[in-house]
Structure 1
Amino acid sequence: MSDVSRADILIALAAPMSGSEATVGKQMGVGAQKAVDDLNLNSGGVLGEKIVLQVTDDACDRKQAVAAANQLANQIPALVLGHHCLQDSMTASAIYDKEKILQISLNSTNVDFLQTSPGAGIFRICALDPALGPAVGISNVAGKYLATLTTKKVAILSDNSPYGSSLATGVVTAMNAAGHKPDVETTFVPGKPNYTSEINDLKSAKIDFVYLAGRYSMLGELAKEIRATMPNVVLLAEDAIASKDYWSRPENLADDPRLAKIPFEDLTYAAVQIWAEAVQKASSFERDAVVKALNHNRFPTVLGYLTFTQKGDLSDVYYASYQQIKSIAHPLVECQ
């Protein structure tokens, strides 16, 4: 294996630049490139070396992710940012670990990803989903908030994906723990021509709040139909709608709560910041030295100061639920 400490240090972003999650991938690309440009312009690169970014498309597809990971393994980048989709991160991590390539996953929230990861060089810069229980996870905040709405009727709709099902379970668990149950708890099939049946059920139950559990690409049309037919219903969703593409739609500018997560541009920017700072502290681009620095330091980023556990998860993750009013997000409920 060649030494990565060379002029023009290569880092890579492996993300969906095509397919249903392409909007997210492109936003990640913007953040990664901005971070690299700022490092080169303001700091002269890292350890005096210019940083070069390569963007590789995994299409949120397991087979293409394997091909992308193998391609990157041949190039030995100092860092791989990615992948976005869980199955891609889990499949590619074994390839990166074999070649001693550092991986920082950007949005693989399932707890199993790092619990079953093959080695020590795998980190993630995102919060966990609720798989660790009702006291932890992004859905716990939403569940706590919904449980306070004792005079309102609440529905939980999941796209039945592993991500959506996990979120829905976490919200229901948190609501139950607070002594409040959802009035409707069901799933929907993404990609249907219309959601008339599901919306009629919401109308029959006189629902006031709808929690949508799933990815943005699966939620957009359903949210649009709910708004068109039930204009007084409030929608609540998680990090999947952090996409600028979602909030740029006119129908999504209503005064709705959401579990406001960090924009994908900021996630990638912060990941590059953390890596660059760890390289400086290690005085080396070699993975093992950088991993040691990542595990023993606190890093200033655009997201605030971040630290990692020995397993590679963020320590002291902060969650907050916000209400989007016009273009401004207002805090509703917070949780450490």
Structure 2
Amino acid sequence: MRKPLLSALALTAMTAFAAAPASAEITIGVAAPITGPNAAFGAQIQRGAEKAVADLNAAGGINGEQIRLRIGDDVSDPRQGVSVANNFVADGVGIVVAHYNSGVAIPSTAVYAENGVLAISPAATNPTLTDRGLWNTFRVCGRDDQQGAVAGGYILENLPDAKVAVVHDKTPYGQGLADVTRAALIEGGKTPLLYEGVNAGDKDFSALIAKIKEAGVDFIYFGGLHTEAGLIIRQLADQGLKVRLMSGDGIVSNELAAIAGDAIQGTLMTFAPDPRLNPGAQKIVEEFRASGFEPEAYTLYSYSILQLVAQAAAKAGSTDPEVLAETLKSGEYETAIGPISFDAKGDVTQPTYIVYSWEKDANGGYTYKALETAEAEPAE
């Protein structure tokens, strides 16, 4: 009699387990340069998303579903970005936080669009990303045609006697931003003395510096990322040249100071108002710092994307990507970087850019400090 009793108990337990509802779950992808020269930005995006998921899951998830993250490393390479996108599609991922680089985001979002995946970028600023009118593509940052106009206006107003060279890294982001800034300068009556391209990943900029020295340039506008910018700044100083550099949101990383050293003093850049100062983000910022991570640059941008998805899903009563895309374009949403609403293209409706200067802080290191706020014109 003992054996049948054990079998009955086992059967009862198995039946009860099978009858219990499975934990509902939604998978969201995060694609960023987790490795490679831009890994500092990938860490920001990954950490922001992970923190948002932890907070949302603790509060019940999205429409009662717990969130699971899938991380894809695009290494800032367009081909790898497309590969990551295809892998997400194959695995049934319907929502992605992607990508950091414009040159990666543009081809990858086309893959997502064709396969029913909603894509929201925390950082890709090239206008082409949203100008294509894809149903699925959004960004929570501004655009290069807005950022470059602010940079050009600042130079014209505050540095009217500067002898300017415009340099870019030949990427959609870097060259696009440099071209807008150059156009703004020319429209304002200041034609740059040089317009040069370098290769992303270059380490030796002696040829560029020789041209800058020969032309008598004392100010560089650089369209590109912090890795190349830091080396240009340092190598200019090593050759005894007092040439100031300005760039965009691609250098918003404390790694820039580590690369450039003391020569970073006075370097200018444009970026949005520091989201770490947003009153609504203070608790999140404190929790990041308590964990030993400084949530600079795009950390709170990726955090905010998860907030947007959760709020839109609650509003729509659905996590269907196409329904979410339509819902995001209606109304305003509260996020860690402030209130966000989108236009028909998927751009934020009220982008603002700040001009910052890299200066020495009280601890003897370098950080960026805001100089000026400028309202960017809405995208056409």
- Give TM-score, length-normalised by structure 2: 0.77
Q: How many residues align?
A: 324
Of 188, 191, 198, which residue of structure 1 is paired with 2:198?
Answer: 188
Residues 1:23 and 2:40 aligned together: yes
User: How far apart are residue 82 of structure 1 and its match?
Assistant: 0.5
Which segment drifts farther, 198-207 or 233-242? Answer: 198-207
Which segment drifts farther, 29-38 or 220-229? Answer: 220-229
User: How far apart are residue 178 of structure 1 and its match?
Assistant: 2.0
Contact 1:241 1:247 (8 Å CA) reproduced: no
Q: 1:295 to 1:238 in 2, by over 3 A?
A: same
Which amino acid letter does the alignment assign opposite residue 233 of structure 2? A
Of 228, 245, 257, which residue of structure 1 is paired with 2:238?
Answer: 228
Partner of 1:307: 341
Of 34, 40, 57, which residue of structure 2 is paired with 1:40?
Answer: 57
User: How far apart are residue 272 of structure 1 and its match?
Assistant: 1.2
Query: How far, CA to CA, are the matches of 2:240 and 2:306 in structure 1?
Result: 42
Query: How far, CA to CA, are the matches of 1:251 and 1:225 in structure 2?
Result: 12
Partner of 1:317: 351
Which amino acid letter does the alignment assign opposite residue 211 of structure 1? Y
Deviation readout 1:46-82 (Å, 9 max, x if unpaired)? 2222222111112233333233222211332342110
Which amino acid letter does the alignment assign opposite residue 55 of structure 2? D
Residues 1:129 and 2:140 aligned together: no
Which amino acid letter does the alignment assign opposite residue 125 of structure 1? V
1:241-256 matches, cutoff 5 A: 241-249=251-259, 250-251=261-262, 253-256=264-267
Q: 1:330 to 1:111 in 2, by over 3 A?
A: closer
User: How far apart are residue 252 of structure 1 and its match?
Assistant: 6.0
Residues 1:84 and 2:100 aligned together: yes
Partner of 2:117: 101
Partner of 1:133: none
Query: How far, CA to CA, are the matches of 2:102 and 2:40 in structure 1?
Result: 17
Partner of 1:213: 223
Q: 1:92 to 1:197 in 2, by over 3 A?
A: closer
Partner of 1:116: 132
Q: Secondary structure at the match of 1:72?
A: helix
Contact 1:322 1:333 (8 Å CA) reproduced: no
User: How far apart are residue 334 of structure 1 and its match?
Assistant: 1.5
Contact 2:103 2:173 (8 Å CA) reproduced: no
Query: How far, CA to CA, are the matches of 1:290 and 1:330 in structure 2?
Result: 35
Contact 1:146 1:154 (8 Å CA) reproduced: no
Of 152, 158, 163, which residue of structure 2 is paired with 1:153?
Answer: 163
Which amino acid letter does the alignment assign opposite residue 121 of structure 1? N
Query: How far, CA to CA, are the matches of 2:268 and 2:151 in structure 1?
Result: 10
- Give TM-score, length-normalised by structure 1: 0.87
Which amino acid letter does the alignment assign opposite residue 215 of structure 1? L
Partner of 2:184: 174
User: How far apart are residue 297 of structure 1 and its match?
Assistant: 1.3
Of 147, 153, 167, which residue of structure 2 is paired with 1:138?
Answer: 147
User: How far apart are residue 256 of structure 1 and its match?
Assistant: 2.2
User: How far apart are residue 279 of structure 1 and its match?
Assistant: 1.0
Q: Secondary structure at the match of 1:266?
A: helix
Residues 1:57 and 2:73 aligned together: yes
Larger radius of gyration: 2
Q: 1:194 to 1:92 in 2, by over 3 A?
A: closer
Partner of 2:316: 282
1:60-79 matches, cutoff 5 A: 60-79=76-95
Contact 2:129 2:137 (8 Å CA) reproduced: no
Which amino acid letter does the alignment assign opposite residue 335 of structure 1? E
Stretches of structure 2 that go unaligned for 5 or more consecutive residues are 1-21, 275-296, 361-366
Contact 2:103 2:171 (8 Å CA) reproduced: no
User: How far apart are residue 143 of structure 1 and its match?
Assistant: 0.6
Q: Secondary structure at the match of 2:148?
A: helix
Identity of aligned residues (%): 28
Query: How far, CA to CA, are the matches of 2:111 and 2:87 in structure 1?
Result: 10
Q: 1:202 to 1:277 in 2, by over 3 A?
A: same
Query: How far, CA to CA, are the matches of 2:129 and 2:220 in structure 1?
Result: 29
Contact 2:136 2:325 (8 Å CA) reproduced: yes
Partner of 1:266: 300
Stretches of structure 1 that go unaligned for 5 or more consecutive residues are 131-136
Q: Secondary structure at the match of 2:271?
A: coil
Query: How far, CA to CA, are the matches of 2:100 and 2:368 in structure 1?
Result: 27
Q: Secondary structure at the match of 1:259?
A: strand
User: How far apart are residue 186 of structure 1 and its match?
Assistant: 2.8
Query: How far, CA to CA, are the matches of 1:116 and 1:186 in structure 2?
Result: 28
Q: RMSD across aligned C-alpha pairs, in angstroms?
A: 2.4
Deviation readout 1:250-285 (Å, 9 max, x if unpaired)? 446523221134612122111111111111111211
Query: How far, CA to CA, are the matches of 1:64 and 1:200 in structure 2?
Result: 35
Q: 1:93 to 1:6 in 2, by over 3 A?
A: farther
Q: Secondary structure at the match of 1:182?
A: coil
Q: Secondary structure at the match of 1:284?
A: coil
Query: How far, CA to CA, are the matches of 2:200 and 2:325 in structure 1?
Result: 40
Partner of 1:134: none
Residues 1:334 and 2:374 aligned together: yes
